[in-house]
Amino acid sequence: MSVEPFIGLSALLFTIGAVGVLVRRNAIVVFMCVELMLNACNLAFVTFARAHGNLDGQIAAFFVMVVAAAEVVVGLAIIVSIFRTRRSASVDDASLLKL
């Protein structure tokens, strides 16, 4: 089995995710791009686990999924509450973290 196509796909997904985080303003989209990057990592983990024949990478992938699930809960809650107070889901509107 050749790993290159899988790694290439993983890198592509990660890049799409990263660019999305940087250029999109909508918090939901940014959030989905973060998920995309996490899953790109998962793909790389399982690919290498398969190539090397041990389960470490698979376990790591499970951990990432668990963390991602938890993160979704917290993140969505934050986004919803920001939307409620500001009537906007744009990340640029929530720029209060400065003097």
Partner 1 sequence: MTSLSSVVLAATEHAEVVPVAADGVFSWVWLVVAIPAISAAILLIGDGAGDHGPLDRFGHLLGTAASIASFVVGLVAFVALLGRDAAERAITQDLWTWIQVGGFDVTMSVYYDQLAALFVLLITGVGSLIHVYSIGYMADDPRKRRFFGFLNLFIAAMLVLVLAGDYLVLFLGWEGVGLASYLLIGFWQEKRSAAVAAKKAFIVNRVGDLGLALGIMLMFAQFGTTNIHEVGLNVSNASQSVATALGLLLLLGACGKSAQVPLQSWLLDAMEGPTPVSALIHAATMVTAGVYLVVRSAAIYDLSEVARTAVMVVGTVTLLFGAWIGCAKDDIKKALAGSTMSQIGYMMLAAGLGPAGYAFAIFHLITHGFFKANMFLGAGSVMHGMNDDVNMRHYGALRKMMPVTFVTFAIGYLAIIGFPGFSGFFSKDKIIEAAFATNFWAGLAALIGAGVTAFYMTRVMILTFFGDKRWREGVHPHESPKIMTIPLIVLAALSIAGGALTFSSWISDWLAPVTGEEHHDLPVPAIVITAVIVLVVAVGVALAYVLFGRRDVPETAPQNVSVFTRAGRADLYGDAVNEALLMRPGQYLTRSLVYVDGSGIDGAVNGTAELVGDGARGLRRLQTGFVRTYAAEIFGGALVLVLALLAVNLA
Chain residues in the site for partner 1 (CB under 8 A): 18, 21-23, 25, 30, 91-92, 94-99
Pick 18 or 58: Cβ nearer partner 1: 18
Pick 57 or 75: Cβ nearer partner 1: 75
Pick 25 or 52: Cβ nearer partner 1: 25
Of 5, 24, 25, the C-alpha closest to 13 is: 5
CA distance 97 to 40: 30
Q: What is the DSSP-derived secondary structure letter of residue 73?
A: H
Compute the least distance from the CB of residue 73 to partner 1, in Å.
19
Say which amino acid occupies 81: S
